[in-house]
Amino acid sequence: MREHIVAVASRLFYQHGVKTVGVDRVIAEAGIAKATLYRHFPSKEHLVVAYLQSRHEAVMQSMAQGRAGAEASARERVLRYFEILQRKAGSQEFKGCAFLLALAENEDSAPIKEVVLLHKQTILETFLAELPQDLAGRAPLARQLALLYDGALAQIMFQRSPEAAQIAGQCANSLLQAHFPH
CATH classification at residue 105: 1.10.357.10
The 10s digit of each residue's pLDDT in 10-41 is: 999 999 999 999 999 999 999 999 999 999 99
Query: Measured between alpha carbons, how far is 44 from 154 in angstroms, rounded to an integer?
Result: 25
**Does residue 43 sit within a domain?**
no
Residues 6+ apart with CB under 8 A from 19: 105, 106
CB hemisphere CA count around 101 (13 angstroms):
24
**Does residue 37 sit within a domain?**
no
Specify whether the CB–CB gap between 76 and 68 falls below 8 A: yes
**Does residue 61 sit within a domain?**
yes
**Does residue 10 sit within a domain?**
no
Specify whether the CB–CB gap between 163 and 85 falls below 8 A: no
Query: Measured between alpha carbons, how far is 147 from 104 in angstroms, rounded to an integer?
Result: 18
Count of domains in the chain? 1
Specify whether the CB–CB gap between 155 and 149 falls below 8 A: no
pLDDT at 179: 87
**Does residue 90 sit within a domain?**
yes
Q: 108, 107, 84: which is closest to 156 by C-alpha?
A: 84
Q: How many CB atoms lie within 10 A of CB 96?
A: 20
In the three-class reduction of DSSP (H, G, I as helix; E, B as strand; rest coil), residue 179 is classed as helix
**Does residue 95 sit within a domain?**
yes
Predicted model pTM: 0.90
Query: Measured between alpha carbons, how far is 44 from 49 in angstroms, rounded to an integer?
Result: 9
Q: How many helices (H) and strands (E) does the chain have?
A: 9, 0
6: pLDDT strictly greater than 70: yes
The 10s digit of each residue's pLDDT in 46-76 is: 999 999 999 999 999 988 886 656 678 888 8
**Does residue 36 sit within a domain?**
no
Residue 162 domain boundaries: 48-179
Q: How many CB atoms lie within 10 A of CB 147?
A: 14
Specify whether the CB–CB gap between 27 and 34 falls below 8 A: yes
**Does residue 136 sit within a domain?**
yes
